[in-house]
Structure 1
Amino acid sequence: MIVQFGSARIELVLGDITTQQLDIIVNAANSQLAGGGGVDGAIHDAAGPEIMKELRQRYPDGCPTGSAVVTSGGKLTSQYIFHAVGPIWQGGSKKESQLLESAYQTCLSLAEKHQCKTLAFPSISTGVYRYPVDLAAEIALRTVAMKLESSDELELVRFVLFDQGTFGGYARVLETMLV
């Protein structure tokens, strides 16, 4: 599913984020930048151990929730990996929506700062952090669409979604944005 926003596109695909050939791959990281399971583990496995070494050297204190840090792409075809830390879902009353939006905004700003035109996002916080997919999709897609409307740098933001349920949630939200 591809939708135009300004001069750029949002694309939804079902697949493996580590195989994307874009400027940036976004990792759903933890605040310790310690690697983990799910998307984080898959990206670290595919990118190689130099990414963990780079994280430890450059960001020994980790990364706060709602923000992101940058490393090289390692063995991936992407130039960079942005390690974004989304919130753990706690019912919605602990500023989770603001923190999730901030994680996406930080990545988009970093993309422009690094003069990149294409990036791939996973569904940040919807795995082990239990953020409801429909709520996360609404925040992610709205934040990206608003940025694309005003950006001259970005050309493509692809959401690479791991399973059919997540893909369906994002597709439903994106369809409502077109009305």
Structure 2
Amino acid sequence: MSSSIEIIEADITTLQVEAIVNAANETLLGGGGVDGAIHRAAGPGLLVACRALPQVRPNVRCPTGEARITPGFDLPAKYVIHTVGPVWYGGGRGEADLLAGCYRAALALAVEQSIRSIAFPAISCGIFGYPAEQAVAIALHETQAWLPTLPERVLFCCFGSAMVAAYCRAAGSTST
């Protein structure tokens, strides 16, 4: 199987892919940024499905670095893979390993569900404050580590030209 990795600037909620990845918080009950946009676009069914996921501890349905999957409801995507990226505290609290875990867990779910196309946002790069250059290097490295078991099409969906530029710079030193 030949996989393609693409970097695009778009609204992830409009993409015609089998799965989109949600940069969620541990409750999985919606929030700001891409998480809020995905919940709004998916409609109320997504919140119901997320509430049905078991809590692993009070108010935590998905610990940082892990992933969960739900239907996409009103989205063009069949599935939403929710993952919780780390908050950036300067890099000394295992943030890189946790962020890498987000990509590994999301890709594992995609492979398990035989998903052929998946779109990732820039996990942890918004309100969680992860430095873009470091985050995109991890995203590309972890994704390429899954070759050749990747879905046929992997998109890094960027919100804004600055994030596109960060991915393009990182991809320039990495084969995509």
Shorter-normalised TM-score: what interval? over 0.9
Structure 1 residues 149-164: aligned runs within 5 Å: 149-151=147-149, 154-164=151-161
Deviations 1:96-132 (A, max 9, x none): 0000000000000000100111000000000000000
User: How many residue pairs align between the two structures?
Assistant: 172
The answer to whether 1:92 aligns with 2:91 is yes
SS of 2:173 mapped into structure 1: helix
Deviations 1:32-74 (A, max 9, x none): 1121111001100000011011111123441100011011001
SS of 2:142 mapped into structure 1: helix
1:117 matched residue in structure 2: 116
Please provide the CA RMSD for this pair: 1.3
Structure 1 residues 6-155: aligned runs within 5 Å: 7-60=2-55, 61-147=60-146, 149-151=147-149, 154-155=151-152
1:3 matched residue in structure 2: none
2:174 matched residue in structure 1: 177
CA distance in 1, matches of 2:8, 2:110: 20
CA distance in 1, matches of 2:138, 2:26: 20
Unaligned runs of 5+ in 1: 1-5
SS of 1:33 mapped into structure 2: coil
TM-score by length of 2: 0.94
Sequence identity percentage: 41
6-15 or 161-170, which deviates more: 6-15
CA distance in 1, matches of 2:96, 2:157: 21
CA distance in 2, matches of 1:150, 1:94: 31
Q: Say whether the 8 Å CA contact 2:3–2:148 is kept in structure 1.
A: no
CA distance in 2, matches of 1:124, 1:102: 11
Q: Find runs of 4+ consecutive structure 1 residues off by over 3 angstroms.
A: none
CA distance in 1, matches of 2:2, 2:47: 35
